Structure 1
């Protein structure tokens, strides 16, 4: 299977760049405009471990750190993102919306690009080195919209790398996969990694979204705008757990920027407690539910709890060592506005329908109150995806 896990499934060109914000349905559903008055992600560095990031785009200008190209072993050519996958993830996370372009869920966050390219699939240690590089250079949130088949020979290296990042205080988000199956993949299946599933505009689990006991959270992953592969100045829509992962990562950055003294464990705990769901948790389709940062930023919900206990690992009965707070970002991006988001949905195991606890997507946009979920999760995280679902953008 391809190591290309993050799927930027281009559906069709969007109308025009000057009205892209009107196509970002999930921002409205998550009450983004209101949340951005509280927090924008400013002060938080999100590492995008992917195909590179083109920081020359209007929405990313001044927001992208130099980063590193672990594919070639040097710092250069990060902007040469011929696949445009990493760039689109960065847009979904921290795009400013400049010149009518894409607005990220955390427009004030800083992006640290770590280009892995073909190295992701290779037997080299570059992917592991990339994650270590990210946390050593101030990334509090690590977005991995990539993945591949689980390989027992690599399990020890994955566990060591994830453990290293957790001890540094970082949060790692990874796509669950785009095959619509329950087979585990790396890195989403590694304990401690936050596996993310995808939802459509109706608040239902996307048919392509992989599932299983490893799922931790879900986020919007259908009809997400970005730049086309053929023309970086043209906008397209994409589908995939890659996009869902980017939005979940941006959500963490948003909450963390509002509570800079929290540890990653506390940020994750409130994300889990305030996740939208309808039924028993965790669900094999959306884990603890849909990310709803508005519950935290606008309603003040979620108990951060013990700063040294990882809620996912604790629920699984895995012993954890106290994690230190991540180092401060080496650089802060110019913060445009504030970011916030919130949607509530839960997948029903029989029909894969993620109903929000307000009654479905229409109430998502209203974003009423929700029942807080006690955060404890069994995580055998599976399926880190990044399969091309069609044409990459």
Structure 2
């Protein structure tokens, strides 16, 4: 992604990203000074700074980590993180088995915050009216929401919610060769793709070491960071304009330049192409590129000056409950922190050199 070139023009400064997850630990070396006051709607012991399993902190680092102390270097290190803790399935099973999910409350809290971007690296199996209404509420307030499509391509392969809602950008995962990841779910709800294989992540809530992981969760965080970079460079754009440029500047295979893939959507995120090469036209600030409907085009707060260099009908629900589950899969291996950062940490910001030849296209 030529991050060093991007950072000469934009680091994400002036942009805040709400990370809806099981909490974000603001005390890791890479996140010190990067996390502002958030919200806890989980309703269990602790608050939004108590990360239940390390997942939310990883997403925050992938977005805005500084890389200090051997930690993850995020793609938008000038951005700020607003942690919004929700009740994930794992948390509910262990802490509050009689409680319902809180994702709708988390989305509304994010929409009411100063965040321009909402990152949801988790999902639900089924349509939920309260969550759908919360998504609409956020869209009307001019927020941009990215959500993981899910990791069950070899199983049910039914894109998770909220990624499957019309106003949400569904994000798929690719490997280091630009191939769609075998686990990444596909369908008409996929809008963009980003790297999501062999990504360093905190192993657990002890925050002692990183593991090698994969998932559409990680891809979603990188997509959110890409949006932060573009929005920071163009603070007067609306969410519609930022997203339209992301679509037009995304990396595509030669055989589907005029199509939208059910596997990679409009393509693989390329913030460098948008920021340093000017690819993509912002277009109508009031027209959603997701729904082609008028949205009002609200600019949710001024992002400030461009940043300085850094120091319809829904698909049928899945069978089962509407429990909120983390979007990432289990780690594939683990090891000491230093080795992981040297060996694969740079993959977070390295260019995707090849693009997938899609196996299936959407109908025109």
Shorter-chain TM band: 0.7 to 0.9
Shift of 1:69: 1.0
Of the candidates 72, 82, 87, which is equivalent to residue 117 of structure 1? Answer: 87
Are the structure 2 counterparts of residues 44 and 340 from structure 1 closer, same or farther at C-alpha, using a change threshold of 3 Å? farther
What SS class does the counterpart of residue 27 from structure 2 fall into? coil
Are the structure 2 counterparts of residues 345 and 136 from structure 1 closer, same or farther at C-alpha, using a change threshold of 3 Å? farther
Shift of 1:150: 1.9
Distance 1:301 1:104 in 2: 23
Are the structure 2 counterparts of residues 127 and 133 from structure 1 closer, same or farther at C-alpha, using a change threshold of 3 Å? same
Is the 8 Å Cα contact of residues 261 and 360 (structure 2) preserved in structure 1? no
Structure 1's unaligned 5+ residue stretches are 1-29, 353-376, 379-393
Following TM superposition, where does structure 1 have runs of at least 4 consecutive aligned residues deviating by more than 4 angstroms? 119-123, 338-342
Map Cα deviations across residues 348-373 of structure 1 (whole Å, 9 max, x no partner): 33289xxxxxxxxxxxxxxxxxxxxx
Count residues in correspondence: 316
What SS class does the counterpart of residue 237 from structure 1 fall into? strand
Are the structure 2 counterparts of residues 341 and 270 from structure 1 closer, same or farther at C-alpha, using a change threshold of 3 Å? farther
1:297-316 equivalent positions in 2, closer than 5 A: 297-314=275-292
Counterpart of 1:264? Answer: 239
Is the 8 Å Cα contact of residues 10 and 308 (structure 2) preserved in structure 1? no
Question: Normalising by the residue count of structure 1, what TM-score does the alignment of the two structures yield?
Answer: 0.74
1:152-301 equivalent positions in 2, closer than 5 A: 154=128, 156-181=129-154, 182-229=157-204, 231-278=206-253, 279-280=255-256, 281-301=259-279
1:34-53 equivalent positions in 2, closer than 5 A: 34-53=5-24
Shift of 1:341: 7.4
Is the 8 Å Cα contact of residues 177 and 355 (structure 2) preserved in structure 1? no
What SS class does the counterpart of residue 196 from structure 1 fall into? strand
Structure 2's unaligned 5+ residue stretches are 93-97, 312-347
Is the 8 Å Cα contact of residues 111 and 141 (structure 2) preserved in structure 1? yes
Greater relative contact order (CA < 8 Å, ≥ 6 in sequence):
1
Of the candidates 119, 122, 129, which is equivalent to residue 143 of structure 1? Answer: 119
**Structure 1 vs Structure 2 CA RMSD:** 2.8
1:350 aligns with 2:359: yes
1:58-137 equivalent positions in 2, closer than 5 A: 58-72=29-43, 77-118=47-88, 124=100, 126-137=102-113
Distance 1:272 1:199 in 2: 16
What SS class does the counterpart of residue 174 from structure 1 fall into? strand
Counterpart of 2:316? Answer: none
Question: Normalising by the residue count of structure 2, what TM-score does the alignment of the two structures yield?
Answer: 0.80
